[in-house]
C-alpha cells in the first residue's frame, strides 16, 4: 500500500495546458483508487464535478502528498502556503524553466507511479521570513522560498541602505536594490544580478547588490541562520519596496528596518529518482555537455 493515499492537486489558474494535464492526472489517480482533493481556486478553473474541494489550510492538514501542476511560480506559491503543514510537494512542469517542477507532462503517469511506489528523492528547502519595522511597530511581513528583494518600486532610483548581519555592521550601500536569496532562489533573480549558484543542500543565504554605485560591493554568502537587518537610509528620495518571491510587497519609509531570517518551517520537495541538480542546470542554463558530444 502506498504511503500517499490522499492526494491534493494544485494547478496554475488560467493555463489550458496545466488544466489538461490536471484532468489526465485526476483520471490516473482515481484509476489507482486514490482519494483526490482539489485546491479551491484550481477547482473553479477546472469544473470537474464530484471531487472534494479544500482550501490550502485543509489541503495541508489532510493530504499525504500535494502535486502542483504549473511553473516554478505555482510551486513557490504552494510552498509558501503549505510548508507549515510539512506535506510533501511534487511538481509537474507546465511553465517555462522548471527548476522546481521537474516532472515532464509527457511521462506523468510513469513518474507519479514511481513516487506512489516509494521510488523518489525527498529533500528539504528552507524559506525566508521578512518583516518591516517602523519606529518599533511591525508594519508588514512576507515569506519567500526564492528571495526577498528590496527595490525602488516603479521608478528607477538609487536607494541607500545599511546592512547588518547578526548585529554587526557590514556596509552602507547605494544601489538599485538588494536581493537576499536562498539556495533555491540562487538560480533565479539573484543569478541575473551576478550572484553565485548555490547547491540546494547548502545552509546559506546570498546577498546580491543590484547595480551598486561602488563596484567593490559584491555578492556575499552568509550562514543560513544569520539574522539580517537592513536599515533604509534617512535621506532616500525613493520609498523602497520589499517584495517576496515577486508576489507580496511592503512599501518602506526612510528609517524603517527590514528584518530577514530563516523560516522555522521547511518545504519538503519530492523529485523522481533520476533527478540530478547539475543535469537540471545543464539543461535549463545551457551549460556544456561532455567534451566531444
Pick the catalytic residue from 72, 102, 147, 245: 72
6-120+272-285 maps to which CATH number? 3.40.50.10330
Give me the mean pLDDT over the 202-206 stretch.
98
72 in active site? yes
Q: Is the pLDDT of residue 1 over 60?
A: no
pLDDT in tens, 247-264: 888 999 999 999 999 999
127-264 maps to which CATH number? 2.60.200.30
pLDDT in tens, 69-106: 998 899 999 999 999 999 999 999 887 767 888 888 88
Structure-block grid coordinates of residue 160: 541607500
Q: Is the pLDDT of residue 292 over 70?
A: no
3-state SS, residue 85: helix
How far does the chain reach from its first CA to its final CA, in angstroms?
43
Q: Which residue blocks in the chain are alpha helix, DSSP H?
A: 16-31, 40-46, 56-62, 72-82, 108-116, 189-192, 277-285
**In contact, 125 and 181? CB cutoff 8 Å:** no
Domain layout of the chain by residue ranges: 6-120+272-285, 127-264
pLDDT in tens, 208-254: 999 998 878 899 999 999 999 999 998 887 889 999 999 888 999 99
Amino acid at each position: 500500500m502506498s504511503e500517499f493515499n490522499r492526494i491534493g492537486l494544485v494547478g496554475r489558474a488560467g493555463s489550458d495546458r496545466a488544466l489538461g494535464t490536471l484532468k489526465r492526472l485526476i483520471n490516473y489517480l482515481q484509476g489507482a483508487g486514490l482519494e483526490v482533493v482539489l485546491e479551491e481556486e484550481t477547482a473553479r478553473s477546472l469544473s470537474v464535478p464530484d471531487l472534494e474541494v479544500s482550501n490550502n489550510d485543509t489541503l495541508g492538514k489532510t493530504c499525504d502528498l500535494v502535486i502542483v501542476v504549473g511553473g516554478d511560480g505555482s510551486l513557490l506559491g504552494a510552498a509558501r502556503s503549505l510548508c507549515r503543514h510539512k506535506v510533501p510537494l511534487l511538481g509537474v512542469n507546465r511553465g517555462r524553466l522548471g527548476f522546481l517542477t521537474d516532472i515532464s507532462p509527457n511521462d506523468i503517469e510513469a513518474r507519479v507511479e514511481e513516487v506512489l511506489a516509494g521510488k523518489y528523492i525527498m529533500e528539504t528547502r528552507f524559506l525566508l521570513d521578512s518583516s518591516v519595522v517602523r519606529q518599533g511597530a511591525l508594519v508588514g511581513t512576507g515569506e519567500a522560498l526564492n528571495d526577498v528583494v528590496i527595490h525602488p518600486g516603479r521608478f528607477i532610483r538609487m536607494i541607500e541602505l545599511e546592512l547588518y548581519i547578526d548585529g554587526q555592521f557590514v556596509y552602507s550601500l547605494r544601489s538599485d536594490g538588494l536581493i537576499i536569496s536562498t539556495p533555491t532562489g540562487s538560480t533565479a533573480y539573484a543569478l541575473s544580478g551576478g550572484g553565485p549558484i548555490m547547491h540546494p543542500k547548502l545552509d546559506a543565504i546570498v546577498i546580491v547588490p543590484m547595480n551598486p554605485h561602488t563596484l567593490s560591493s559584491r555578492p556575499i554568502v552568509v550562514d543560513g541562520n544569520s539574522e539580517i537587518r537592513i536599515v533604509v537610509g534617512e535621506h532616500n528620495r525613493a520609498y523602497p519596496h520589499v517584495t517576496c518571491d515577486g508576489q507580496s510587497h511592503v512599501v518602506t519609509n526612510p528609517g524603517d528596518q527590514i528584518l530577514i531570517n530563516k523560516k522555522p518551517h521547511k518545504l519538503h520537495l519530492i523529485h523522481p529518482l533520476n533527478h540530478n541538480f547539475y543535469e537540471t542546470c545543464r539543461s535549463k542554463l545551457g551549460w556544456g555537455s561532455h567534451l566531444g558530444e
